Amino acid sequence: MFTSNPFADLSASIPPAVMQTYVAIMIVLVAAGTLFDIVHKGSAKYFFENWRKSKSKGPKELGSGELASIALETGLVDVLTSAEFCNARRRAAHLLTMYGFVMYVVTTAVMVFNYPTPATPTPGILPLAWWTGGLMICIGGYWFWFFIRADVAAEGGSPFRVMRADLFILSLLTSVTLGLIWAFLQAKGSPAAGVFFGSYVIATTVLFGSVPWSKFAHMFFKPAAAFEKRVSYANGTRSNLPEPADKPETFGSAREQPRHY
């Protein structure tokens, strides 16, 4: 089961071209939704204006080498390791969800486009990575939802209280959970597999179609914000983004590099 391509098995009832078209539409929805979010909220304008102010007001002019070094540090520290989270549990949950999502989405696209039928045997590592990515999302996502959210962990609120800001994480968890259940039932030959597949498609459409209203596009803005903040410290200005909970002076001199929360 864990080394069998569920989308290849599905080709007996749904033509591969239909599955490929659906995946392509989801990609377009993400791109269009992100662009809409940028224009509607003015995120790009905000960051570019802040970037221009940082460059013009900073007492120290940064060279291309320094900017490249800061960009590399941002990628390695802020993006790949999510160093902005000081809470170890939240950071672990975020990393599980993030890397699981990348594995899950990439392997889905590869299996649907490159190995759409049993006639094109799928390397066992791809379905295994698909299952692993999905399970990582579930572990990280449910851990966050039931135990780490601020209103649940700190305020004692109900884990079933839902707000608009929860649209992304809930649609993601619903989509992935239904997808894994469908793949499991399909491998077992259960007649209920069709019902779960239909639900999986609906939940996935909500996930990728709701980008303008969810926090999905937020993942594209955070690296830019982290990069701008590091640049503002490096050239002597201070970002107008929110200050860390602990000021730099708490950890040493006022010129100490920022910690991201």
Q: Tens digit of pLDDT for each residue in 135-146?
A: 999 999 999 988
Residue 209 backbone zone (phi > 0: left; psi -120 to 50: alpha; other: beta): alpha
Residue 86 falls inside a structural domain? yes
Q: What is the pLDDT of residue 125?
A: 96
Residue 143 falls inside a structural domain? yes
Instruction: Specify whether the CB–CB gap between 229 and 259 falls below 8 A.
Output: no
Q: What is the pLDDT of residue 23?
A: 96
Sign of the alpha-carbon dihedral angle for 43, 240, 150, 180: positive
Q: What is the pLDDT of residues 62-71, one digit of tens each?
A: 667 777 887 7
Domain extent at residue 33 = 6-239
192/186 Cα distance (integer angstroms): 8
Residue 104 falls inside a structural domain? yes
Residue 247 falls inside a structural domain? no
Residue 260 falls inside a structural domain? no
Residue 246 falls inside a structural domain? no
Residue 261 pLDDT grade (very low, low, confident, very high; cuts 50, 70, 90): very low
Residue 73 falls inside a structural domain? yes
Task: Quote the number of domains for the chain.
Answer: 1
Residue 50 falls inside a structural domain? yes
Arithmetic mean of pLDDT, 89-111 = 94
**CATH number of the domain within which 89 lies:** 1.20.950
245/84 Cα distance (integer angstroms): 11
pLDDT surpassing 70 at residue 227:
yes
